[in-house]
Amino acid sequence: MSTLAITGGRVLLPDLRVVEADVLVDADAGEVLDVDESREVAGDDDLDASGGLVMPGLVNAHTHVAMTLLRGYADDKPLDAWLQEDIWPAEAEFGPRDVRAGADLGILEMVKTGTTAFADMYFHVPEVVDAVRESGVRARVGHGAVTVGKDDEGARADVEESLDVAREFQGAADGRVSTALMPHSLTTVDEALLREAVETAREEGIPVHFHANETLDEVDPIVSERDERPLAYADDVGMLGETDFCAHGVHVDDAEIELLAERDTAVVHCPASNMKLASGMAPVQAMLDAGVTVALGTDGAASNNDLDAFDELRDAAMLGKLAADDASAVPAEAAVRMATEGGADALGIPAGRVEAGALADLVVVDFDEPHLTPAHDPVSHLAYAVTGSDVRHTVCDGRVLMRDRQVLTMDESKVLARARDRARAVADRAGGE
């Protein structure tokens, strides 16, 4: 067994107390062995955490990672117009190599800003899997199935692909990749195909991830056509299992919140995307009060416009107060829990907590900075003052991915150069039509 010792710093414990301690990791098994307050650990390798805080790696529980190529491509429009006029025409130009370049770029950004696991809904999923494999991060991936605008054959093929991808890549990259069936949303997938695919997923133990209740434009048609709320429909289809998770949950009523809590289905709150697209304010405190598992996601970089999960943490704490009209809503502790254990629980991975037996997905945040001084309460800083650039080391599955702000598993300049080239070519092709 080879071990990694993270020494000299303070550690954020699962109960959110912060103690002076060292952390010992089994680098082969990718697990935390010990959190030692006596500071007597020694490892085969050592990471210096002095002046820093060892905490769980953040979980970005909903993104479309290759959309980094469209960062800043189109802004300042509502969701429908933005998708139809700008994003979908550009994405239609994406080939496998574009998705790979965008995935590498997004993963590089996440590793540098302290995210160790993410959930990704996109297409050309094998490219995303390869990017995850080579970079060393962890992900739950899936093919986002859309049937609107397709003929019967094309619609069925897209849903089948989502199932096939989920089967093929489960457990890839030494177990760091898991999968889900990912119907894009309740309004973009044909009901009969959706019911059939979800039934198959249930039989095969495949989780389901989808966009839900993001905008009123998405909720109102379901209510008027079906005379039921979207999540009642999702429940009837069988998409609200305890391994399932949905993104957004902005426009949910009390009965839907109750349903999510009863079914133990996690919601991924995406505050920056919801603000930028003026989608609305998710009732996060009400969901937390009801016992819903809430995670955080950046959504795609085109509606954020970065993948820094620390930004999301701050946005969640801020927007949660505005939504509840209550400054005590979504306190720092709740926001930190959403970004760590909430995300890990949504993705179904034993991470998000620094404790013996948990996955060794850890980051060290440098507190020796002007904007983090003084540190009356480190947890407050994590919610309100830390940014991704304060991350000094990133560890995933017991392996050091970034040491002293140097990413070890990716060639940063090559990733940036390739992403620039690919993004420019996509924009040229999309604009040339």
Complex with Zn ion: residue 209 or 381, whichever CB lies closer: 209
CA separation for the pair 205, 88 (Å, rounded)? 31
Strand order in the sheet with 209-212: 209-212, 245-248, 266-269, 294-296
Task: Pick between residue 190 and residue 299 the one whose CB is nearest to Zn ion.
Answer: 299
Q: Nearer Cβ to Zn ion, position 104 or 299? A: 299
d(CA 258, CA 261): 5
Displacement of CA 222 from its chain's centroid (Å): 27
Shortest separation between residue 167's beta carbon and Zn ion, angstroms: 23
# residues contacting Zn ion (CB under 5 A): 1
Q: Is 109 in the site for Zn ion (CB under 5 A)?
A: no
Output the smallest distance, CB 62 to Zn ion, in A.
6
64 labeled binding residue: yes
Binding part of the chain for Zn ion, among 52-60, 92-100, 196-204, 294-302 by CB under 5 A, reads: 294-302
Phi-psi region of 410 (alpha: psi -120 to 50; beta: other; left: phi over 0): beta
371 is in an annotated binding site: no
Q: Pick the closer one to Zn ion by CB: 347 or 354.
A: 347
Least Å from the CB of residue 338 to Zn ion = 17
Q: How far is the CB of 64 from Zn ion (least distance, A)?
A: 6
The least distance separating Zn ion from the CB of residue 247, rounded to whole angstroms, comes to 5
Asked whether residue 44 is marked as a ligand-binding residue, the answer is: no
Cβ closest to Zn ion, residue 165 vs residue 246? 246
Angle, helix 96-112 to helix 125-135, in steps of 10 degrees: 40
- Residue 93, annotated ligand binder? no
What distance in Å separates the CA atoms of residue 223 and residue 238, rounded to the nearest whole number?
Answer: 18
Return the range that interacts with Zn ion (CB under 5 A); candidates 149-157, 228-236, 259-267, 292-300. Answer: 292-300
Residue closer to Zn ion, measured from CB, 6 or 284: 284
User: Has 91 been labeled as part of a binding site?
Assistant: yes
How far apart are alpha carbons 386 and 61 in whole angstroms? Answer: 19
Q: Which residues of 209-248 are buried (b: 16+ CB within 10 A; e: fewer)?
A: bbbbbbbeebbeebeeeeeebbbbbbbebebbbebbbbbb
Q: Are 235 and 263 in contact (CB under 8 A)?
A: yes
Q: Which residue lies nearer to Zn ion by CB, 299 or 341?
A: 299
CA dihedral of 427, 158, 219, 179, whole degrees rounded to 10:
-90
Structure tokens at 45: 């390798």
Within 24-83, which residues bind Zn ion (CB under 5 A)? none
Q: Which residues, in sequence order, are CB contacts of 367 under 8 Å at separation 6+? A: 51, 52, 53, 373, 375, 378, 381, 390
The nearest distance, CB 121 to Zn ion, in angstroms, is 6
**Which residue of this chain has its Cβ atom nearest to Zn ion in the complex?**
299
Per CB under 5 A, which region of 44-52, 171-179, 299-307, 333-341 contacts Zn ion? 299-307
Which is closer to Zn ion, CB of 256 or CB of 299? 299
Query: Contacting Zn ion (CB under 5 A), which of 22, 98, 190, 299?
Result: 299
Q: Which residue shows structure tokens 């959706």?
A: 194
Q: Which residue has the tokens 């416009």?
A: 305
Q: Is 235 annotated as a binding residue?
A: no
Q: Which among 203, 209, 97 has a CA at the least distance from the CA of 144?
A: 209
Q: Which stretch binds Zn ion (CB under 5 A): 76-84, 140-148, 298-306, 310-318?
A: 298-306
**Residue 127 vs 299, nearer CB to Zn ion:** 299
Q: Provide the minimum distance between the beta carbon of 213 and Zn ion in the complex, in angstroms, as a whole number.
A: 13
CB 211, min distance to Zn ion, A? 5
Contacts of 234 (CB under 8 A, 6+ apart): 186, 210, 212, 240, 246
Task: Count how many residues are written for the chain.
Answer: 433
Please state the closest distance from residue 234 (CB atom) to Zn ion, in A. 16
184 known ligand binder: yes
Instruction: Give me the residues that bind Zn ion (CB under 5 A), please.
Output: 299
Output the known binding site for substrate: 91, 184, 214, 299
Output the known binding site for Zn(2+): 62, 64, 211, 299
Output the known binding site: 62, 64, 91, 184, 211, 214, 299
